Structure 1
């Protein structure tokens, strides 16, 4: 699928059919995350694939937004292995993990897998439920799967502001 079609057609799926993502498709999705750029190539992302019923029950405990997905990815980053920017007020952790997650989300669509970016949860509770290391911070949850029959994007999905409203040339 051409890249412009991927970014235009991908949407937040809110109803999955409960089918496990095919392993070949999942490998492509995970590889896209692995290849994502990170500051100084530190690759501080930590990716957790949740497919067991026990794990999915934990996801349901921390958010109401699994929407029936049988494959869920938790995206975290090692907060002690990030690049600190000049001025020492920001570091690369959140943005690098976001780039990784975005690569995976777009790769999913390119191979026929629907997704939903979930941030409606308390990161500390997710980390505790899954016994993640203290040095890791949870950024987001990515639901993956196949849309239930009849599921479609929100009615306003294709409405976008004109570039002139969001871009300024300096």
Structure 2
């Protein structure tokens, strides 16, 4: 699929078939996250793929939505703030930005492979860490649901116009 078509084809999928996603496809999706740029090439991220039902059930309370419980696979994007690049002017770590870029790359790759995803940010990170413990310094930043969509018809996207979003040489 051409990039312009791919960008338009991607949408947030919340209805999945039950079939698990083959690990080779999950790896292809994760590899797309690996080629994403990160500030100063620090690469402060780690991806954990989850497809075992027992772990998926443990993760559900972190984002207690029915559709989330039915996703056959997840990729949890972890970041390490102190391993990421820090802007010297205000000491802002860029780990979350790096994670966003990698997650976006993964959503596009999944779409290209015929998979659906939904990018979840409104979850309880402590409950994620309880269900799936991680090393010190690491935190879950995003969760990507991944699977085969039950319906390949993307809903109509409502987007602002380019004139609302872009200005030249000033606010």
TM-score, normalised to structure 1, is: 0.91
Output the aligned Cα RMSD.
Answer: 1.5
Distance 2:84 2:4 in 1: 31
| Matching of residues 8-157 of structure 1 within 5 Å | 8-65=8-65, 66=68, 68-148=70-150, 150=151, 152-154=153-155, 157=156
Once the two structures are overlaid, the 10-residue window that deviates more, 125-134 or 106-115, is 125-134
Deviation, 1:69, is 1.5
Deviation, 1:86, is 2.3
Contact conserved, 2:78 with 2:141, CA < 8 A, in 1? yes
Contact conserved, 1:14 with 1:67, CA < 8 A, in 2? no
- Unmatched 5+ stretches in structure 1: none
Q: Secondary structure at the match of 1:80?
A: helix
- Unmatched 5+ stretches in structure 2: none
Show the counterpart of 2:167.
Answer: 168
Q: Deviations over 1:40-88 (max 9, x none)?
A: 1111111110011111111212112425211101101112201110213
Contact conserved, 2:16 with 2:149, CA < 8 A, in 1? yes
